[in-house]
Structures are given as C-alpha cells and as structure tokens.
Structure 1
C-alpha cells in the first residue's frame, strides 16, 4: 500500500461511473436478443476495431505480459507476430464470412455449417469451460491490481472488478461493451504513450536502463526464451486469435464484411502501441525495482509509485479497462451459450423473453463460479491465459478455418475434431507433461485438423443448404 493522492481516486472513480453510464445509455435501446447480444449489427469500423483490440488486450497483456517482461526481459515480445498472424488469418479467411452469417451466437455457426444441434451444444459447453479458465486469470489480475494499489484483500479486488463489469454488461449488452471498449482502447493507447517516456526518464534514461539490466542478467536484454518457446507462445495465441469466440462474436455486431476488415486493421494500431509499451514498461520497472514479490504487480507499481498522479491514475484505469472489457465480452459469449445454444436445444419453443431472462441469470452465475478458483494460488496470469488459448484453438481452429473454406468438412469430422483436439491438449499437458517442451497447442491443432480431414473423407457430407451461406450456390 502506497500513499495515493486524491486526484488518483477521482480519476479511477470517474472511470467506473463512466462505464456504468455507458451501459445504462446503451441498454435503453435493447429490446431483443439481437439488440443485446450483437448490438443490432450497428457497430462501425473504428469503434469495432477498438473493441477488438480492447477485448484481446486483457489482464494477460497489462498485468501478465508486463510481468513476464519484468522477469524475463525483452525477448518475450516476439510472441506478438504469432498473435498478429492469427488476426491476418481471421481477416482473410474467417471473420468476413462469419459476419455474413448474421447469427447471434458463435456455436450457432456449428449448427448451420455442420447441420448438428448436438455439435452446437458441445461447442457451447467447451467455450464455457475454456472461458471459465480465462475468467480466473482476469479475476486474479483484478485482485492483484486492487490489492497493490488500495491494500484491500485480493478477493475483494476481484469482487469489485466483477460487480462493476456485471452492472454495465447486464444492462447494456454487447452495445455497451463495444462503446465502453472504444473508450477503454483510447485510454490504453493514450496513457501508455504518455507514461513510458516518463518511466524511462525516472529510471535514468535508455542507456542506463539497458546497461543496468544487462549487468543484472544478460538474458534480460538478450534471449531468455529460445526459438522453440517463442514459436510455442506465438502459436498458442495465433491459432486461438484466428478463431477466438469472444472476438468472432464481435464480428456479428459489425455492419458488413468491409467493416470487419477495416476494424481488424484499426485494432492493429492499438495493439502495436500497447505491445511496445508493455515491453518497455516491464524493463523500466525492473531497472527501478529489481526485486518484486511477483512480476504481475509491475504495472500497478508503475502506476502508483513512479508516474505523476493523473498519469498513474490513467494507467491504472487502462489496466482495469483491459480486464473489464475482456470480462464483459467473455460473460456475453458464455452466457449466450447457455441461454441460446444449450437451452434453445432443450426447449426449442422458448420465447425471446425467456432466453433473455436466462441470459441475465447465466451472466451472474458464470461470473461468480471462476471466483471460487481464483482464490487459490495460481501460476502467473499470462500462463493461465496461454492455457486457455491452447484449449480454445484445439477444439475450434480446425472446424472454423476448414469449415469456412473447405466444402467437404462433415458433421462427423467436426464432432471428432472438437473432442479429439481437447483430449490431445489435456493429455499432452497433464499426462505426458509437455514432452520435448513443445507447447500443447501445436499437437492439439494438428490432431484436430487431421481428424477433421480424415473423418470427413469417409463420412456423409452435409446438405447443400448448409453450405450455401458460406460458399454460395
């Protein structure tokens, strides 16, 4: 707990009030599931691009990535090209076709492309499980931030993060999430542009930081991670980002396919600023505070103990914004999996009002279940995020990328690919103990893709009407 100026509190509290106000404003026009879950398909390229970036740049970026840079140095920055390659795959082969589908939920794609309601339900369950793991990382990060800054127990910090996010998500849905993410992305990029020069100046300048860190450990300014590690990190995030359900759900909110590509382009600008900033931030804090209890506290200490009060408060708001934007997006995707995909299968005649009611209940339940696990000790935030990314890629990459670009992918192939990919990741990670040091996402995606192609080659094709929305007549 550090001495905090009144201005710091004013900025942070003002931010919380602002996002709740955005949720209240956005919620006024929400009358149907389409309004609530896909913002009436009204989002433009700039707001959409900022929302894509803000959702991707979660606690894993501002808390976890900076923490890894603090501990290991500069070489970790090379995972970003892998992640951006995933975005390019999405922009070229995935996202525009997803937008044209005009669906409401991501698992709905599985039913429409592969002609299987059971597959839709399985996809929904797998997404809910994977994103519950993801929420654990966000809650841990929120708790660490609140504990570091305000001295409150981590559980209460996580609870506050959840509660405020839940308020504007329940009221405003995806429209509130999109517009609050737009503001949050501007804050993220803007505050880092201001903060990093101040941090490096406080640390003694570029030359001193470089020479000090090299003398402390040459790997900090050299290569802590080898090529195999960096390829694994990039693959985990790249495969996942190409088909990330919480990002694909955003595609439904955009106006048209051209807007989708422009939005992804705008998101690159925000991500590039933040990628460089968190790297330099981690290195600068290591030069000022060589020994911290956990690297995950580096961003919080930078905000409250290095920067001027207003800049530090804005940085803290950016960190909280990154957590809350991701939590909101995940809440919507996971809760819609229950209310529209699983419940819709159990009760096909359910009204829109019934689904909306269940959706709001699901948001509350799914928000608090991961909190129970977040109270237990976990590895660094970034590596929880990476495990989730591997899991998502293993069951979703093949059936989305192949399904949108290869007519012969069948129902049986998709079902086998989803289940086989997840089992491969779990066995590789927990039974075999990550043999040869190869990241679990590589065998997971490889096995899933092979199963999809092989099984599809020997099983009944899907009806032509299921292919038409994706390939035309």
Structure 2
C-alpha cells in the first residue's frame, strides 16, 4: 500500500468519465445489431490503426510483458518480430479480403467460405472458449493493479476493471470500443514513451542500470531465453495475430481495403514505441527494486512509487486503458458469437431487437464467467495470454489464411482442422510440452495437415462460396489489386 497523490484520483476519474461519455455518444447511432457490431463500416485508417494496436496491447503487454522483462531481462523482446510477422501476413493475405467480404462476425466468414452452419457454430464456440481464457488474464492484471495501489482484494479490482468496460461496451458496441481504443492507444504510447527517461533518471542513468543488471545476473542483459523458447513465443503471438478474431472483426468496421492496410501500418508505429518502452521499463524497475515477489507488480509500483504524481497517474491510466480496450474488444467478439452466430442459427427468424437483447445479455454473462477462474492461482499474466494465443492460432490460422488463398479447402477439412488443432494444443499443454516445444507449433501443424488432407479427400465447396473471396473470373484482376 502506497500513499496516493490526489492527482491520481482526478486523472482516473476524468478518464472514466471520458470513456463512458464515448460509450453513450456512440450508442446513439446504433439503430441495428449490424451497426452495433461493425460501427457502420465508417472507421478510418488512423482511428482504426490505433484501435488495432490498443486491442493487441493488453494486460499481457503493460503488466505481463513488463513483469517478464523485470524477471528475465532483454531477450524476451525477440517475440515482437514474430508478432509483427503475423501482422504482415494479415495485411497481405487476410485483412483486405475480410474487409471486402463485408461480414458482421468472423464466424460469418467461416459459414460463407466453407458453406457450413455447423462450422460457423463451432468457430463461435471455440472463440468464446479461447477468449474466456484471455479475459482471465485481463482480470488478473486488473486485480493485481488495483490491489497493489489500494490494498483491496483481487476480486474487487477485477470487478472495478470490468464494470466500466461492460457499461460502455453494452451501450456503444463496436463504435464505442473503437473510439475509446483510439483514446486509449494515444495514452498508452504517449505515457510509456514519456516515462522511460524519468525512470532511468531515477535509476542513475542507462549505463548505471545496465552495469548493475549485468552484475546482478548476466542473463538479464544477455540471453535468459533460448532460441526454442523465443521461437515458440514469436509463433504463438504471430500466428494468432494473423487471424485473431478480435482484430479481424475490426476489419469489417473500416471503409476500404486501402484503409485496412494503412491502419495496420499505423498500429506498427504505436506497437514499436510501446514494445521498446515496456522492455526498458521492466529492466529499469529491476535495478530499482531487485527483489519484488511478483513481476506483474512492477508496473503499478513504477507508477506509484517511482514516477512523479502526474506522470504516474497517467501511466496507471495507460495500464487500465490496455486492460479495458482488450476486454471490450473480446466482449464484442464473444457476445456477437452468441447473439449473431449461435442464436442466429438456432432462431434464423429472430428480430433485430431480439438479437440486440441477446447481445447485451451475453456481454454481461461473459463479463462474469472468467471471475471464478481469476480468483484461482494462475501463472503470470503474460503466460495466460500466451496460452490463449496458442489456442486461437491452432483452430483459426489454417482455416483463415489457407482458406482465403486456397480454393480447394472444404467444409470437412475446416471442421477437422479446427477441432484437431485445439485438441492438439490442449493435450500438448496438459502433458507438459514435450521436448520443450511451445504448444502452438504442434497445434498449427496438425490443423494445417488436417485441412489439406481432409479437403483433398472430400467434396469441394460450391463456387458461390468461393466468389466473395476469390472473385468470379471477370473480377479476378480487380480483386488482386
């Protein structure tokens, strides 16, 4: 428990007022369930890029990654190239076709591409399961953050974190989530970038911090992780980011294919600023507080006990922003899986008003379910996030990336790929990662093999299912451009 400056309360209160105002403003324009879920397809490149970055930079970045750098040092930075490679795959092979398709949810793509309502429902269920794991990580981070500051139980920290997020997500939908993410991304990048010089000044300068850490443990400034570990981290984040449903859903909200590509470029800039900042911040905190019991507490202690009150308050808001932006994005995607994909299949004649009601109920329920798991002991936040990334990559990478670029992929192949991939990741994780391989590697390999082999042995999908993604013969040149 640290003494908190009144400035902190003013800044946090102002932040919550701004975010809730965005939610209520955005909610006024949501006349249909489609506009609620895709923001009227009105989002531009700058706002869209900030939203992509804010959603990706979750508690795993601002609490978990700082914690990992605090404990292990610089070498963990090498997971970022894997993540950015995933973004490039998305920009080249995935995002433009998704935007062009004009769907509402990611399972909409699965249904149309593979001509299967069953595949759509399974995709929606798998998204909900994987993102429940993801929400656990965000709730743990929120609990750790507020417990460190106020000394309150983790569960109350989680309640406070999700309470505000649930309100503006239920009211404003994807438009509120996108514009609040824009604000949150600017706060995240700006605050962490500004905090690093102050942090190193407190630590005695870059040279002193580097020398101290090398003497404390040479692996901190050298190689704490081996090649196999870093390859696993990079693949887990990169393969999942190329097809992450909460990012793909953003593609539907943007104006054009060009907008999508520009948005991904803007998100790169924000992520690079944050990636460098959190690595330096975690290592600077290790020099100032060498024996913290939990690496995840490094970021809140940095804000409260090291930085000047205003900068520290803004930094705490940046961490809350990271958590809330990801929680809102996950809630939108998971709740739409229930209201649009599952409920829409069960009751195809449901009215728009009924779908909106189901969506809001789903947001509320999905906000509560992970609380139970967040109260039980888990690994550090970043490793919870990494497990979620492996799950998403295992059931979606093949059916999205290969499915969008290989006409022969079939319904049976997609079903086998999704179920086989997630089963492999789960089994690999439970039996303790044989040979030290991250679970994403066998998971994605099995899903790719199953998609290709089963598709070769089964009946092709109708041409009408291929046309939105590959175009009719006369449209191929236009689509390729």
TM-score range relative to shorter protein: over 0.9
Q: Does 1:451 align with 2:450?
A: yes
Q: Structure 1: where are the runs of 5+ without partners?
A: none
Q: Which residue of the partner structure matches residue 266 of structure 1?
A: 266
Q: State the match for 2:430 in structure 1.
A: 430
- 2 CA distance for matches of 1:333 and 1:415? 20
Is structure 2 residue 453 aligned with structure 1 residue 465?
A: no
Give the structure 2 partner of residue 328 of structure 1. Answer: 328
Q: For residues 192 and 346 of structure 2, what CA distance do their matches in structure 1 show?
A: 48
Cα deviation 1:292-331 (Å, max 9, x = unaligned): 1100010000100010111000100000000000000000
Summarize deviations over 1:175-211 as a string: whole Å, max 9, x none: 0010000010000111112100000000010011000
Aligned equivalents of 2:17, 2:92: Cα separation in 1: 38
Q: Secondary structure of the equivalent of 2:255?
A: coil
Asked if 1:244 is matched to 2:239, the reply is no
TM superposition shift of 1:57: 0.1
Alignment of 1:81-92 (within 5 A): 81-92=81-92
Alignment partners' CA distance in 2, 1:36 and 1:294: 40
Q: Quick one: distance in 2 between partners of 1:134 and 1:284?
A: 28
Equivalent-residue separation in structure 2 for 1:28 and 1:197 (angstroms): 42
Question: What is the DSSP-based 3-state SS (H/G/I as helix, E as strand, rest coil) of the residue aligned with 1:243?
Answer: coil
Q: CA deviation at 1:152?
A: 1.3
The equivalent residue for 2:158 is 158
Paired position in structure 1 for 2:380: 380
Shift of 1:153: 1.1
Kindly state the Cα deviation for residue 129 of structure 1 after the two structures are TM-superposed: 0.3
What's the CA shift for 1:465? 0.3
Aligned equivalents of 1:193, 1:238: Cα separation in 2: 24
Task: List aligned pairs for 1:61-80, cutoff 5 A.
Answer: 61-80=61-80
Which residue number corresponds to residue 6 of structure 1?
A: 6
Deviations 1:61-119 (A, max 9, x none): 00000000000000000000000000000000001100111111111110000000000
TM-score normalised over the length of structure 2: 0.98
CA distance in 1, matches of 2:288, 2:77: 20
1:36-435 counterparts in 2 under 5 A? Answer: 36-431=36-431, 433-435=432-434
Q: Deviations over 1:275-308 (max 9, x none)?
A: 0000000000000000111000100001000101
Question: 1:338, 1:154 → 2: CA distance?
Answer: 28
Runs of 4+ in 1 over 6 A off after TM superposition: none
Question: 1:364, CA displacement in angstroms?
Answer: 0.2
Q: What's the CA shift for 1:11?
A: 0.4
Structure 2: how far apart are the matches of 1:102 and 1:394? 25
Measure, in 2, the Cα distance between the counterparts of 1:133 and 1:193.
30
Q: 1:17 maps to which residue?
A: 17
SS in 1 for 2:253: coil
Deviation at 1:227, TM superposition (A): 0.5
Q: Distance in 2 between matches of 1:240 and 1:214?
A: 34
Q: Hey, what's the Cα distance between the residues in 2 that align with 1:404 and 1:60?
A: 29
Following the alignment from structure 1 to structure 2, what is the Cα–Cα distance between the partners of residues 310 and 429? Answer: 43
Q: TM-score, normalised by structure 1?
A: 0.99
Which whole-Å CA distance do the structure 2 matches of 1:65 and 1:194 have between them?
18
Cα drift, residue 379 of structure 1: 0.5
**Aligned-pair CA distance for 1:151:** 1.6
SS in 2 for 1:39: helix
Whole-Å Cα distance in 1 between the matches of residues 439 and 465 of structure 2? 32
Separation in 1 of the partners of 2:132 and 2:340? 18
Residue 4 of structure 1 aligns to a residue whose secondary structure is: coil
The whole-number CA distance in structure 1 between the counterparts of 2:35 and 2:315 is 32
**Take 1:154 and 1:410, find their aligned partners in 2: how far apart are those partners?**
46
